[in-house]
Structure formats: structure tokens, C-alpha cells
Amino acid sequence: MVEMNELDLTVGYCGVCCNHCGMHSRIPKMAEELRRFVQAYKYSDWIAHVTQDFRFGDFMKGLNWFAETSCNGCPQDGGVPDCEVRTCCREKGFRNCYFCPDFEKCEKLCYQKTTYRIDDSHVRIGQIGYENWLKEQKEKASKGFDNIHFLE
């Protein structure tokens, strides 16, 4: 288990905790493990004899991309470059949307509110404060929490 003081926590402009995202660490590790199996079983030598349904080289390019890519979060210029939430926060000078007085009625956050339930986080921040909420998110991340919980 990672100690809380060792964990670097990043919260995206939209309020989603980047450390809970699979692209932060879990997906690259899974892709690396799959790549290891594909290479060990030498699929490149025989897969074309079994199926023509996909191009193995393209599959490996994608697998390599997932294994070697990690998103640092939008505050560190990761994520979607032209994200309207990022642009809005930067223009207004907010660390993230939780600091915006228009959070509750903001239509730019529909996806995050529906998918990641950031409304719940906003309520929790109101109850315990932002710094204590961050500590809770660090603790969740240290225990391996992943946003897949919201996505399935």
C-alpha cells in the first residue's frame, strides 16, 4: 500500500481525481502484461494463419501506446487539449470547477456529473472542506480505487 504522503494527487479541472483514472497507472500496467504474453507466445509468428479479422501490427501499435502512455492529468497538460472545462477554469483562474460559484448549474460538466458523480464530491467538499476531501481521495487512491467503478 502506498503511504498517503508518498502519493502525488492530481485533480482535473472538471473535479475528477486523475489518480483514480485507469490511464494514470492501471491501464499501462495491464497493457504491458498483455504485451508480455503476446510476445512470449509469439503471436506475431502465427496469428495471420488463424485470423484475418484484424491487422496484428496495428494491434501491437495500440497495445504499445497503452503500455507506454500515462496521462499526467489536465493541470499538467495531459488529457484532451481543447477541453472546454479546462479552458473555462483557466480563463476564470480556478484550480478546478469545485471553486467556481457556477458549479451546480454548469452545463459543461454534464458528462462528469453523470459519469463520475462529481456532484457527490462537491457536496462532500461542502461538508468537510477541500483539503480533507483531497485526503479522502488520496486514501482511496492508495487502496487502488479506480474510476472503473463509475464507468461500468
Q: Quick one: pLDDT at residue 57? A: 94
Q: Quick one: pLDDT at residue 79? A: 86
The 3-state DSSP class for residue 99 equals helix
Which residues, in sequence order, are CB contacts of 115 under 8 Å at separation 6+? 150, 151
CA of 130: how far to CAs of 2, 29, 64, 126, 134, in Å? 21, 30, 37, 8, 6
C-alpha cell at 116: 463520475
Q: Are 137 and 11 in contact (CB under 8 A)?
A: yes
pLDDT at 108 over 70: yes
Compute the distance between CA of residue 63 and CA of residue 81 in angstroms, rounded to an integer: 22
Residue with more model confidence, 142 or 60:
60
On whether the pTM is more than 0.75, the answer is yes
pLDDT at 110 over 70: yes
